[in-house]
Structure 1
């Protein structure tokens, strides 16, 4: 005996309606899958339950189905979301005005006490943060001070080393010059006795390269140049020695 014809109308029983939806939904998804595989067709199936739950199938991919879900499902809740966001914004504005000491005339004792606790907590957190920032800045300044102290010590050591070298050179130079000027015997170039016929030469030695010195001897009415041959001979002898 065959099953009778099912009348197409809404099922009043909630449980029977849910069971029928589950069975028909699974069968519909199965048929869509078979159609996409057997016939190589591009099938997209979207099903919403009475509670707004989404069931989907797509042979191409779920990306298109996700777009369709956003376009179909979410606009229902836009009004509710806007109302919630508006209420939250108004609450935050009111709280901000209370924290600034505005519009507190209509507040009760409990509300004022809660506001006082909030202000005390905010003040404590602000002071702690201020102290932390000041400590960090002081530590940074101490670090920079130590670095500058190290640089100052290095520069002082270099300056003292250069000052000692300059002082030793300054002390050595006048003593050396004075000893050479005051004691002719300490000269490295001893002066040889002058020749009787030669012209008097300077006691200090000198070096002449490519230059012949002439002396003028006063004669009768004229001056005659005379080469300092003896002096040059003595200087060459001293240089060789």
Structure 2
């Protein structure tokens, strides 16, 4: 049964279009390979799909560069000359931009290369430097304010911690005075002052008596107990 003719127009369905491209691409590459082998021809085939995918077929005995060179020699046309000229033009523009930026840096940083500037140029340069100075000054004040706020928060935390330690000290001091645990007030205070450097460490200098045992204090050594 003969195959029906296919109307040659763009396939609107994306999936069908991609499937058709893959099948026909493989068919073209197969024909190119046969032409290269049967006729000893130099074949170069480059294809791009509608999604930008690159596919290429080159005869086994050649390379893409050799094909370009053969094309140029046959037509007497240099494919690279126009591209080289565009590259030179781009490099020249980049050099001009770089020199301009270097000159501006010298003018703003060290006050150099000012001889060619008139009064208007100098005024504009002065205003630009003033604007830059304002930006730097604002950033400096922002950093100072941030550091100051951080220090204030640390001081507040330390004050709160100190208040808690003082409250703990007063509570334990009143408890020990009532129970007769404190034998030497100065020694007790120095022990508490030392313990303030370590969180939740309290020192007791106690007499081993019945009141202490009732309160749950078990002295170690002659007079002192650390918890």
Larger Cα-atom Rg: 1
TM-score norm. by structure 2 comes to 0.46
When normalised by structure 1's length, the TM-score is 0.43
